[in-house]
Structure 1
Amino acid sequence: AAGLTLGKLRVGKISLGITFVFFVGILAAHFGVTVDPKMNSFAQTIGLALFVYALGVEVGPSFFPSLKSQGIFYNSLGLLVIILGLALVLAMHFLLGISMPNLLGIMSGAVTNTPMLAAVQSTLQDALGAEGSRQVADLALGCALTYPLGVVGMILAIICLNFIDPHKNKEEGSTQAQRTTYITELELTNTKLFGKTILEVVHLEPKHFIISRIWRGEKLIVPTSETVLYEGDHLLVLIHPEDLEEFITFFGQRAESRDWNRPDIDWDAIDSQLISKRIIITNSRVNGAKLGALRLRNQYGINITRIDRAGIEILATPDLRLQLGDRLSVVGESQEVIKAAKFLGDSINMLDKPKLFSFFFGLAMGCILGSIPLAIPGLSMPIKLGLAGGPIIMGILMGAFGPSLRIATYMSNSATQLIKQLGIILYLAGLGLASGAHFFDMIIHGSGLLWILLGFLITFLPTMLVGILSLFGYRKTHAETVGMLCGVMANSMALDYAMSINDSRSSSVAYAIVYPVGMFVRIISAQILLSFFL
């Protein structure tokens, strides 16, 4: 309770949040508070498993979509940050002689990634058993020492990158760069397409697109696959941003009457006789069904222009499998949209019912997966994914593919946050109590100050190098760059600061794209690296 209360404190725009639970546990242990070791171990185990599995289920729906389009670029830069960090750890090990377990503990705090710490602890315990209890405690000390500067160092990197940003005095990025789908208005002047139906036109172009509206003179049309195109039609087309020039050539010419990608467009006023509505998938019979198989356009005469899944905007393709909780942007006549909403569910109350069986089934499967030894060539002993790696992988798989198997994995945001918060509180409190007795001794008489410095270098150097590459080499905006960096560092506190100085949602988009992949790679790579030194 004391840790949660302190977590609400802010210094400027900076707060350590729930991590204060960890530090209160350390302080309590320093003053002699003890807990039965078996009970403490059980609390940490349960807390960790709940946290990482709920995290996996949460990011699962957006995990694989994030690997497409702009996601490939963002995640490539994120992986470069991770590789540079691991290279620094290896250099410190060979130059300074610090043990690899201690360095990985330092790194866990420096990159503000407690699931990574738990994965390394699990691997160390499996390898050394009871004899490694002190090393496991030192791991937690390393994390505790470097975590505060992990937050501050990331914010300092954001400030430095903003200072040297070559685009600082220019307009904040192009709209294309901030979106995974792009809306453009095109005039049909390509004579080869005159008189053809939309279905015929779709077969002529291998890349996917959606025609959501057609203006023919003063008349507005919601097209179907059988709608015939004529010379001079103005088409509102949804595409991937990088395909814009190709589609301008394909249809004829660009005819932008306004910026159709602005978030404040009043679609209802534009459409007049049409309405635009967001429909939430809550009908369990639709869960896992392919969008094309539902034939919504033919049955209701509506167009689905965009789909929002866990914060990631997805282009509505026929092969896309819908999931509970998906938010569909729909355009059509009022009565038909109402009928479609009734078919798809659109009842937020249905999502409030917990899916307990699928949650605990997936959690159990994740624990089993984490206990399976995996033989890797070059390692003297097999590794286990443990209670950090196994549940997060199973959570991602359940979140991504559960709907395809007709398994309802959706949890409301409040339920997900409750489970994650409960899990991480149990884990951090137990971890602090188990390792806090030697914390201040490490700072005063040990290598604590050196560890803090090394942690700062692990935080600051990779983020600055990759940030400079993104700004100057790839000409990305400051908002996109720091969002990506915060995502790979799993640093939501720094993201809050970044969004306060950038009036753009591209920071949160880049964060959401990189976060799941970065979390997964951090956990697995740390375990593999440690295994080479045991």
Structure 2
Amino acid sequence: MAEVLAWLATQPLITLFIAIGLGTTVGRISVMGVRLGASAVLFVAIVLSVFASSYGISLELPEIIGQLGLAVFAFTIGVVSGPSFFHGLVKSWPWLVALAVTLCVAAFTARVLGPLLGLDAHTIAGTFAGTLNSTPGLAAAGGGPSATVAYSVTYLIGVVAVMIVMDVLLQRRARDQDAPPELFERAIRVERHDSPQVSELLAQHGDEVCFVRLSRSAEAPQVVVRPDDALPQGAIVNVVGPADRLEAIARELGHVSHYRIAEDRRSLDVMRVTVSDRGIAGRMIQDLDLERRFSATISRVRRGDVDMAGTADLVLRLGDRVRVIAPKRRMQELTEFFGDSSRGLSDLNPVLLGLGIALGLALGTVPLPLPAGGTFTLGAAAPLVLGLILGRNGRIGPLLTAMPHTAATVLTDLGLMLFIAAAGVRAGGHLLQAFESDLWSRIALLGIILVATMLTTSLILIRWLGKMGRTRFAGLLAGLQTQSSLLAFGNDQTSDDARVALGYSLAYPLSMIVKVFLAAVLASV
């Protein structure tokens, strides 16, 4: 065995992919309904590294592997989360304030209890960085031997404790009130005499409803609905949206009709097409002017595994599957208009990927001053922040700044596994050394108290007082830890529910900056 491990020590790429392969295999094993998913790569890499260390062999991966993985992961998760992040940012600021308070409470706890446990400032700062899984925080703490030992002892404590809490939260996520609403179709007969306009109804019932087809009677030909259309008495209108909105519209207009207008294809047909034309991606549905150009409309958009109503202000992305309603004779034109190529699912947008990550990494090296003296850099937070900005609208003039959901998911998973495999090998290499120290039990005790403090404070301030749903809060905990393996765990438990990534991207940038600052302060006092 020693010979095999010694050979692996000379073959870092083989070591990397063994950790990834074994980790993902272990991650598929279900224990009491829980699977670790891609996050198991971290634990397998740690075990592999510790096992080699027991033979006096050091397994090391080039630092550039972890940096590459983290850059790709952070940037693509930002691009995918950009639209939702900025859409909800206005109401998210109380959560961000609570997140900063949570980290400050944890740092204060470390500063008070650390000396009582006989720990010096650098050990306290390393314990804080390790418990909260902040490698930049370790660097801000000086990265010396005492800080590194404390970081190694508490790193797994932070990962495992938060993973347990996330699992408890996600087991109960069906009760969340912020889940994306399921979409339904209803045929509604208009009984009102005043012929209300569609635009008035849209303004009244929100942006999750889409009026699709209109027929003045069961025998009359159907037409696609325009915002300025009036709904005369006796007309039948086809509406897509959440069940409660449809019920409210039906009560206001008249009643639900038994006429199956969506199945009547004498005048209008329906088909699913893939958005693969770059000229379409990054534009709102209303900007395509489908009603005038093709007498067509979009009723639904499927992105990943989520269906959304085809509302006027919805921005289309490469790889979206749109449900188009139009006259049969215009279907071929619409197919050509949208592209309808599988390339729309896999286009990596290499211009965005290359230049975006390069600019993000460059911004991450810019030194920023600390109030207590010295400087820090944003590091991996910079590509994520830049990805959020570029992904917000999906287009800057002629430049497409979005990626297909499928391609972005693949890149995110690849970057994630590269980074956590490298992080696991590095952490495992220090673990045996850490347990040789007679301080490890006191360091571990402080780490347990810190993670309990962080979890309790965030549960009170964000989950309960802030009324954040369990699924998004689980993602926020992963982002608060700036721990990609926890994001992988959350994604695996929820089949990539978008709320997990949204919570993660909301917390990650601020959390990373605040933890670096607090670690530097703890090391200096």
TM tier relative to shorter chain: 0.7 to 0.9
**Aligned partner of 1:120 among 92, 116, 137:** 137
Contact 1:2 1:21 in 2 (8 A): no
1:104 aligns with 2:99: no
The CA distance in 2 between the partners of 1:396 and 1:145, in whole Å, is: 30
The CA distance in 1 between the partners of 2:136 and 2:305, in whole Å, is: 27
**Aligned partner of 2:155 among 143, 147, 152:** 143
Q: Which amino acid aligns with 1:57?
A: V
Match for residue 508 of structure 1?
A: 497
Q: Which amino acid aligns with 1:482?
A: R
Q: CA deviation at 1:391?
A: 1.3
Q: Which amino acid aligns with 2:165?
A: G
Residues 526 and 341 of structure 1: CA distance in aligned 2, closer, same or farther (over 3 Å): farther
Q: Which amino acid aligns with 1:143?
A: Y
1:450 aligns with 2:462: no
Q: Which amino acid aligns with 2:105?
A: A
Question: What is the alpha-carbon root mean square deviation over aligned residues?
Answer: 4.3
Residues 205 and 481 of structure 1: CA distance in aligned 2, closer, same or farther (over 3 Å): closer
1:357 aligns with 2:364: no
Contact 1:58 1:416 in 2 (8 A): yes
Q: Which moved more, 1:341-350 or 1:357-366?
A: 341-350
Aligned residue for 2:400, secondary structure, equals: coil
Q: CA deviation at 1:359?
A: 1.1
Q: Which amino acid aligns with 2:75?
A: Y
Aligned residue for 2:154, secondary structure, equals: helix
**Aligned partner of 2:105 among 83, 87, 93:** 87
Aligned residue for 2:213, secondary structure, equals: strand
Match for residue 213 of structure 2?
A: 213
Residues 213 and 481 of structure 1: CA distance in aligned 2, closer, same or farther (over 3 Å): same
Contact 2:152 2:430 in 1 (8 A): no
Q: CA deviation at 1:103?
A: 1.2
| Superposition map of 1:174-185 within 5 A | 178-179=180-181
**Aligned partner of 1:469 among 464, 468, 480:** 464
The CA distance in 2 between the partners of 1:517 and 1:197, in whole Å, is: 38
Aligned residue for 1:214, secondary structure, equals: strand
1:529 aligns with 2:518: yes
Contact 1:268 1:274 in 2 (8 A): no
Q: Which amino acid aligns with 2:297?
A: N
Residues 308 and 514 of structure 1: CA distance in aligned 2, closer, same or farther (over 3 Å): farther
Match for residue 507 of structure 2?
A: 518
| Superposition map of 1:274-353 within 5 A | 274-309=268-303, 316-353=310-347
Match for residue 370 of structure 1?
A: 364
| Superposition map of 1:5-154 within 5 A | 5-9=22-26, 10=29, 11-12=31-32, 13-15=34-36, 16-23=39-46, 24-34=48-58, 40-67=62-89, 72=91, 80=98, 83-84=101-102, 86-97=104-115, 99-108=124-133, 117-121=134-138, 123-124=140-141, 128=142, 132=144, 135-136=147-148, 138-154=150-166
Match for residue 502 of structure 1?
A: none
The CA distance in 1 between the partners of 2:387 and 2:71, in whole Å, is: 10
Contact 1:150 1:459 in 2 (8 A): no
Q: CA deviation at 1:298?
A: 1.3
Q: State percent identity of aligned pairs.
A: 18
The CA distance in 2 between the partners of 1:311 and 1:81, in whole Å, is: 30
Aligned residue for 1:64, secondary structure, equals: helix
The CA distance in 2 between the partners of 1:525 and 1:374, in whole Å, is: 13
The CA distance in 2 between the partners of 1:368 and 1:299, in whole Å, is: 44
Q: CA deviation at 1:91?
A: 2.4
| TM-score normalized with structure 2 length | 0.74
**Aligned partner of 1:384 among 362, 377, 387:** 377
Q: Which amino acid aligns with 2:127?
A: N
Q: CA deviation at 1:205?
A: 6.1
Q: CA deviation at 1:414?
A: 6.0
Match for residue 165 of structure 1?
A: none
| TM-score normalized with structure 1 length | 0.73
Contact 2:319 2:405 in 1 (8 A): no
Contact 1:308 1:328 in 2 (8 A): yes
List alignment gaps of at least 5 residues for structure 2.
1-16, 479-485
Q: Which amino acid aligns with 1:155?
A: D
Contact 1:276 1:331 in 2 (8 A): yes
Contact 1:306 1:316 in 2 (8 A): yes
Match for residue 403 of structure 1?
A: 395
**Number of residues of Structure 1 aligned to a counterpart in Structure 2:** 478
Match for residue 233 of structure 2?
A: 231
Q: CA deviation at 1:85?
A: 5.4
Q: CA deviation at 1:381?
A: 3.5
**Aligned partner of 2:472 among 484, 500, 507:** 484
The CA distance in 1 between the partners of 2:184 and 2:88, in whole Å, is: 16
Residues 366 and 497 of structure 1: CA distance in aligned 2, closer, same or farther (over 3 Å): closer
User: Any idea what the Cα deviations from partners look like across 1:210-266, whole Å, max 9, x if unmatched?
Assistant: 421235331444223564421243434456899789x749x83463459xxxxxxx9
Aligned residue for 1:213, secondary structure, equals: strand
Q: Which amino acid aligns with 1:179?
A: P
Q: Which amino acid aligns with 2:25?
A: K
Residues 428 and 325 of structure 1: CA distance in aligned 2, closer, same or farther (over 3 Å): same
User: Any idea what the Cα deviations from partners look like across 1:167-198, whole Å, max 9, x if unmatched?
Assistant: x9xxx678x96429786665545544x2x665
Match for residue 255 of structure 1?
A: 255
The CA distance in 2 between the partners of 1:367 and 1:449, in whole Å, is: 34
Q: CA deviation at 1:21?
A: 4.5
Match for residue 10 of structure 2?
A: none
